Amino acid sequence: MALPQIRLQPWYPGQMGVPGSDVPRGLRTSSAGVVFYVDNSHPNANAFNDGTDPENPISTITAAMARLVAFHAEASIQAEGSVIVVSPGIYTDNIVIANATYPEDCTILGVSSNKFGVIWRPAAGDALTIDQGGWRVQGIHFQPSGTGAGVKLTWNAGSGGEDAVIEDCFFDGRWGTGLYGIEFEGAPANVTIQNCRFAEFDAASPCIIANGSATADPYQTHILGCTFQECAEYITVTVGSGFNAAIIAGNQFCTATGGLAATTTYINLGTMGTGYNQVVGNYFGGDYSNAGGYTAEGSGNDNWVGNFAFDVAEAEVGDNGITVAEPAA
């Protein structure tokens, strides 16, 4: 029997013209850009290494990002498409990917045989702020500080963290220690959050929060295939904010049963956006109502049909457990 054709991700061994890259283990997601290796447990790790050789990695994410900025400033090297490969360990960096100095379309990739082996745990402030377009963050176990988010996405007058992809990450509130998992500041558009895990955030510390305004709110956000467990607040907004044209699909929203306060907010899409959010195919725990922590965007244009809810006593939930309307009072 003929075997099926299998198309593999392109493999780019070595990086021509980049010192220290003549090893056959460099992997990039495009033919452009540079791979930097970060491994704070490697015996040869040093903040002053160029980081392109996995046997002589950089010791901090901060130093790797500085190397990326330096490459981006050199006209002879295309830095877009670069990858920061982070090996298992605990990292305490505070990184701001500034629009003015960083290239677009780069990746921070945590690599570990243990799904949660690459831990990013700053002492204070936001772990990672993305103010540049097209960045991807994958495979990181974020443990946010009590004064910041794991990932903060910003937007300022048309530039910022639009088109970001955050996937296969664990946002760990550590039983109320962390402030936010992911924070939207303003209206970064076309952000995708997929296959992520959120757990153990307490009251006033949502897993995902939008700090926008009536005229600048997250647009076309995709939240797909994520799990939300043991938290007081899952997805919410600040006063005067709202999600616009979001797709929230295929997620699990569990009722908190552990040591934190009971879940009070499952999804609150705000009152100040224009709506047209699609909330479909999710699994909802708790009381499917506004009082129970489910709130559609205030314009009345959302679609919440086709979710699975335990609360069949509500008029908005069919006897088979499938939602047939937006949650009501």
- Our CA angle for 27, 32, 38, nearest 5°, is 45
Beta bridge partners of 247: 222, 278
pLDDT at 119: 98
* Better-scored residue on pLDDT, 72 or 77: 72
Amino acid at 230: E
pLDDT for residue 141 is more than 60 = yes
pLDDT band with cut points at 50, 70 and 90 for residue 30: low
* CA dist 154 → 141, 163, 211, 328 (Å): 21, 11, 10, 32
Q: What is the mean pLDDT of the chain?
A: 89
Please give the structure tokens belonging to residue 188. 């970064």
Q: What is the DSSP secondary structure assignment for residue 64, as one 8-state letter?
A: H
Per-residue pLDDT tens over the stretch 227-277: 999 999 999 998 778 899 999 999 999 998 766 779 999 999 987 767 899
pLDDT at 284 over 90: yes
Q: How confident is the model at residue 124 (pLDDT cuts 50, 70, 90)?
A: very high
Q: What are phi and psi of 119, to 5 degrees?
A: -100, 130
Its sign, for the CA torsion 21, 24, 25, 30, is positive
Which pLDDT value is given to residue 157? 62
The pLDDT score that the predictor gives to residue 27 is 55
CATH no., domain 88-309: 2.160.20.10
- Asked if the model's pLDDT at residue 6 lies above 80, the reply is no
Distance between CA 77 and CA 33 in Å, rounded? 8
Domain boundaries, the chain: 30-79, 88-309
Instruction: Say how many Å lie between the first and final Cα of the chain, rounded.
Output: 60
Question: Is the CB of residue 45 less than 8 Å from the CB of residue 57?
Answer: yes
